[in-house]
Amino acid sequence: MTKLTDFLVNLALSPYPPISLSPYLPISLSPYPPISLSPYLSKLLTYDIETVIMGRWGEF
């Protein structure tokens, strides 16, 4: 899970998505994500960032 965590944190902290993602943005990056995914994604990103700050890599 560490690579996924790294990816999500980098994506959340980066002002611009990686060039490779630009032409085909995941649904989660669209201006209007599905309502059912929004709370989950925001909670997941918040948890991942807190995990990074607390230094607990890979705990999920």
Rounded CA-CA distance 59/33 in Å is: 26
**Residues 36, 58: Cα–Cα separation, whole Å:** 25
pLDDT band at 5 (very low <50, low <70, confident <90, very high): confident
| Cα separation values, 31 from 4, 10, 13, 27, Å | 22, 19, 17, 9
Stronger pLDDT, 40 or 17, i.e. the higher one: 40
| Mean of the per-residue pLDDT values of the chain | 58
Residue 16 within a domain: yes
Whether 18 is in a domain gets the answer yes
Task: Say which residue, 1 or 52, is predicted with more confidence.
Answer: 52
User: 60 lies in a domain?
Assistant: no
pLDDT at residue 7 in the model:
72
Residue 45 domain-assigned (yes or no): yes
What is this structure's pTM?
0.21
Cβ–Cβ < 8 Å for 17, 25: yes
Q: How confident is the model at residue 34 (pLDDT cuts 50, 70, 90)?
A: very low
For residue 59, being part of any structural domain is answered with: no
- Domain enclosing residue 23, as ranges: 2-54
How many domains does the chain fold into? 1
